[in-house]
Structure 1
């Protein structure tokens, strides 16, 4: 049996959960893995929590200058690691550096995409990828405008968050394990916006959630999962508000809570999959992957604080019934294409 040498690059915290079962599966199959990860948010903590061996390479930049400088530096350092490894196939999700390095070194690459609004990232990567796995909900014409070859696009029904629950074991005692002091009967989990992301123009010391928290804290316990220190400081010292320190079992938290309100994307879609009522108040343009769940009745979206508050109170009293959703096996799609590329090339 011919084993493959596979390179996986992880550049954002949600990608750890996305790839963890792929990594464990490939390790069990005896494949030779190189996993690289940049220093950003909770990536390293999550890698350690899931017991994934990795090489730390590079970090995140805040300003445009920093982003360019750090990405350029990361390409330089990754090339030194990968060049002599005889990698058969490379895999990533929205990594800026992996497609560029794979293209330069002649390594077939498999790319997972779920954000058609990440303009800079998509322009820099999609023209260089050998295969692109993307939700069917995303308009292929938008990807082609970035330079993606339509023959490389592999659509599926669903969103990437399906991967997060392949081996999910619900912990009903998650509140107790976190020693939460909850005074209200109902509990809401909130996630602030991705203020440091290149695709969103936002102030990291403010949050669209603030007026929503101020009103709903009188009706429910509020759990805040900040992305970084400055976001935590926004909500410190508010009654009935608990600031969670990651990493935590967010999947069990979302399932246990009565409602999720998110100004980002990933956790909102995870909540929809778990059938927990969820409200998106993401301040940017609506992503196609969010629209998928909105159209299915599993997500409500508004950027009007009063509308969010009104819908939240409605959900707390009358959560929606379970909604059946037909999706494809994204895990198997990734594995099949990874092996096909690794053994047969482009």
Structure 2
């Protein structure tokens, strides 16, 4: 069976890495495409994934349209004659359009119901859509998704990131970190280049939080791009991490995670590290999944965040049991079913 997987964002590398390995080990022919954006290439190399890089991420709306249009054409030239049995992606804009046009059965993994442009451009074209059960189906239908093609599951996509996770308790030493305080807070800035968030890439909502908490704990910041890195340069007791790094081990080792994004916050919740979300956009349903279970705290109020952070680093929450479906099995079963049986 020939399978095409398109990876368009850095977190999607961790989502698909074990799927790709399994399929290759089973003797399947897997074509992985990606684009130039953030740390995707570095992560692909770190996990030993062979890939074809096509196109790049656009910053302005005009750039996004131009780059996506060009990428559709370039991907078409690669895929059109490959006789693909099934195409798989997570929030890729281009794969559903190409697979629909070429009559290739497509599997789409979704976890952001507020990505309006992406969802409108993709959901009506997909043959099957795997989405967390907590996301309102009616919301997806507003974008044109066929409710009969939506496959809900209990959990979030970050569960896939830990299928083969091996915790490195010596991660701080291995990175040569000079940590002066007994407590450590890991921070991730907002995705200010994303189309679904109106933000200035030269500023961060984390800045005032860092200014206060640097007096109480070591601060580790993992920026998304160079401009974000500059925001936190030269601040005492703040270490800027250079990707790619073993973020999962860093999250588990840290005493607290404060994130203005989404993926690493949810990873922290899964790893049971106390986490505060200060994401400046509308709260996602997948975040509510962990908030409702007491595994994530959300606030955009500076005093509230500071007080909760100081409380967490002294008194972390007790372990909380979470029931979830086997997403890895769900993804693989649908890849094989679509690949062998074609469109529903």
Category of TM-score, reference length = shorter chain: over 0.9
> 2:198 aligns to what?
201
Tell me how far apart the structure 2 counterparts of residues 281 and 186 of structure 1 sit (CA, whole Å): 20
User: 2:312 is paired with a residue of what secondary structure?
Assistant: helix
Give me the whole-angstrom Cα distance separating, in 1, the residues matched to 2:55 and 2:28. 25
The aligned counterpart of 2:64 is 67
Aligned match for 2:224, one of 218, 222, 227: 227
**1:317 alignment partner in structure 2:** 314
1:246 CA displacement? 0.3
Cα drift, residue 194 of structure 1:
0.2
Name 1:45's counterpart in structure 2.
42
- State yes or no: 1:257 paired with 2:262: no
CA distance in structure 1 between the aligned counterparts of 2:229 and 2:52, rounded to whole angstroms: 29
Instruction: Report the equivalent of 2:141.
Output: 144
Map of 2:113 onto structure 1: 116
Structure 2 distance, partners of 1:304, 1:27, is 47
Work out which of the residue numbers 20, 24, 28 in structure 1 matches 2:21.
24
- Aligned position for 1:283: 280
Number of residues of Structure 1 aligned to a counterpart in Structure 2: 343
* CA deviation vs aligned residue, 1:87-109 (integer Å, no higher than 9, x gap): 00000000000000000000000
Alpha-carbon deviation of 1:306?
Answer: 1.2
- Kindly state the Cα deviation for residue 160 of structure 1 after the two structures are TM-superposed: 0.1
**1:106-255 alignment runs, 5 A limit:** 106-255=103-252
1:296 shift after superposition: 0.5
Q: How far does the alpha carbon of each residue in 1:45-70 deviate from its partner, in whole angstroms, 9 at most, with x for none?
A: 00000000000001000000000000
Equivalent-residue separation in structure 1 for 2:93 and 2:101 (angstroms): 13
Residue 253 (structure 1) shift: 0.1
CA distance in structure 1 between the aligned counterparts of 2:173 and 2:147, rounded to whole angstroms: 49
Q: Secondary structure at the match of 1:90?
A: strand
Structure 1: runs of 5 or more not aligned: none
2:263 alignment partner, one of 256, 261, 266: 266
> Who is 1:341 aligned against?
338
Question: How many Å apart are 1:146 and its aligned residue?
Answer: 0.2
- Report the Cα distance in structure 2 between the residues aligned to 1:70 and 1:343, rounded to whole angstroms: 33
Query: How many Å separate the matches in 1 of 2:38 and 2:302?
Result: 27
Tell me the secondary structure at the aligned position of residue 224 of structure 2.
Answer: coil
Q: CA deviation at 1:305?
A: 1.2
Task: State the distance in 2 between where 1:86 and 1:228 align.
Answer: 37
Once the 2 structures are TM-superposed, how far is the Cα of residue 33 of structure 1 from its aligned partner?
0.7
One of 69, 74, 77 as aligned partner of 2:74: 77
Inter-partner Cα distance in structure 2 for 1:208 and 1:53:
36
CA distance in 2: counterparts of 1:187 and 1:27, whole angstroms:
39
Instruction: Report SS of the residue matched to 2:65.
Output: helix
Q: Does 1:57 align with 2:31?
A: no
Q: How large is the Cα RMSD of the aligned pairs?
A: 0.3
